[in-house]
Amino acid sequence: VPTPDGDFVVRAIKQVTLLAAICAVSRCLLGYVLTFGAYNQLDVLRLFHDMLLPWRPRELIVPNMAYAHGSVLGAPACAGRALRGMLAAGDNAFAHHADATKDNLTRHQRGVVNYGPAHVPEIRPVIEAFFRRIEQGALRDIAGEFCPATSADAPRTASTPLRGDDYPLHWEGMLD
């Protein structure tokens, strides 16, 4: 974490949350928000806001990392397609039930909110497949990561032999 004098201090990141909006028809990633810690209704509103703005590539800080040619996010990714109201299928987190979140989606984006039943990811296959790909293709290779236990009495298992204390992450590098 950067300090006011320009140095960096190592801080433990207890939770990383990725909020993503994906068009279920075109499979385009419309926007994402990465938070370090639990998210709230303001993060959900920032996701809705960011996905409507023209996307601009960030200046990447990770060496040898570059955007693929023609990369684009947000509503411009669906250019040429008929624009329609949004159907938001989310889980039952309190941030999704906040009045500001529902009002933004229904009034300003002509959207419909569908929370669906709890603990049934099969009704959101597109977003579940996206997160599974992110988890298996990137997150499980981070030093100190683990695979969650498959039952209540089973221990979690390390997904990499690297210790997280030996390989600290740069928070801005995570955004890349």
Please tell me the predicted confidence (pLDDT) of residue 113.
Answer: 63
**Rounded average pLDDT per 10-residue block, the chain, 176 residues:** 81 80 76 84 83 81 86 65 54 61 67 66 79 83 79 81 82 80
Nearest-angstrom CA–CA distance, 133 and 138: 8
Please tell me the predicted confidence (pLDDT) of residue 112.
Answer: 61
Please tell me the predicted confidence (pLDDT) of residue 90.
Answer: 59
Q: How far is CA 31 from CA 15, 77, 168, in A?
A: 20, 10, 27
Question: Please, which residues have CB within 8 angstroms of residue 170's CB and are 6 or more apart in sequence?
Answer: 61
Q: Which amino acid does the sequence have at 55? A: W
Please tell me the predicted confidence (pLDDT) of residue 3.
Answer: 83
Please tell me the predicted confidence (pLDDT) of residue 76.
Answer: 59
Please tell me the predicted confidence (pLDDT) of residue 42.
Answer: 86
Please tell me the predicted confidence (pLDDT) of residue 91.
Answer: 55
Please tell me the predicted confidence (pLDDT) of residue 78.
Answer: 61
Nearest-angstrom CA–CA distance, 54 and 77: 9
Question: What Rg, from alpha-carbon coordinates, does the chain have?
Answer: 18
**Token reading at 17:** 């949350």
Please tell me the predicted confidence (pLDDT) of residue 110.
Answer: 62
